[in-house]
Amino acid sequence: MKSRPLGRSGLSTAPLIFGGNVFGWTADEATSHRLLDAFVDGGFNAVDTADVYSAWVPGHEGGESESVIGRWLKAPGGRNGGKRDKVLILTKVAMWPRQPGLSAANIEAAVEGSLKRLRTDYIDLYQSHQDDADTPIDETLTAFDRLVKAGKVRAIGASNFSPERLRASLEMSKVKDSARYETIQPKFNLIDREQVEGALADLTQAEGLGIIPFYGLAAGFLSGKYRTEADFEGKARARTILRDYWNDRGLAVLAALDDAAEAVGASQAQVALAWIMAHPAITAPLASATSVAQLDELMGAARLELPAEVWKALDAAGRV
């Protein structure tokens, strides 16, 4: 497994990033810590979270995922002692209703909360979770620049930005000679491709940004476990899948995944993620797991090399 640079930040990651939205939610704390241990033991080094995770859960208020990670980082003993030096911690600001937006005041307050919950004195990649049209770009970037210069943040990134707003931010960083966004997080998988392929890919290539996409398995659709209408019964994500993927294009991709999985001796989920990892525009995708068995499958995708003809067949199916 080769590490891949996160833009020009000097940070690099293995070709898979653990999506920490599940920590303290669908994976309890003990399970989350086992997952993190297994992830590092597997040779991976980047964990992505956000201050808002998991405020949407009844009884939660936000910050749960960061807190779980922080207690793992500080847990004594164990085979992964000195964990902080082994991992890149990626977190985000702007989407938590308690601390919304990208004003300087909010960024400066939010980062202190994240540092406290994560039990660390620096964040490797601090990301704007969503755009904030009500705050001047200059104000946001100046606040981030102060954090970088203070050593509280090593690099900054963006998530859910349009190519136009990302370009405007990069241009402002050049004018101000300030910290710039080194990464972008868009939705991307074999079916959802419009956020990456085109203007965003052209911009990131020209500027040397890393792309770390989410939704790699399309809400589980690309795992191959949804084959008949009966498979949707009692599934929370069924409505999303039926609306967005249960159509001729989605079924064509599933058929191509079946052929590819048989050809390389891997699961459909592994093939779907391996296709993303091999995409020339992508640095590393985010993926989540709630059991060590699931995580082992995801990590296997990073070790899977798709023959060129298999990758091209999948690519063509996703363009139908």
Catalytic residues: 53
Determine the distance from the C-alpha atom of residue 219 to the mean position of all C-alpha atoms in its chain, rounded to a whole number.
14
CB 164 within 8 A of CB 203: no
Dist CA 167 CA 252 (whole Å): 35
Nearest CA among 279, 269, 278, 276 for reference residue 300: 269
> Nearest 5 degrees, angle CA 319-CA 254-CA 159?
60
For β-strands 46-48 and 17-19, DSSP reports them as parallel
3-class secondary-structure state, position 314 = helix
Alpha helices (H) along the chain? 29-41, 64-74, 104-118, 137-149, 163-176, 199-207, 238-244, 248-264, 268-278, 292-302, 308-318
Beta-bridge mates of residue 90: 48, 125
Length of the chain: 320
Dist CA 178 CA 173 (whole Å): 5
Place of tokens 């048989």: 262
Dist CA 310 CA 216 (whole Å): 18
Rg (Cα) of the chain, in Å, rounded?
Answer: 19
Dist CA 57 CA 78 (whole Å): 31
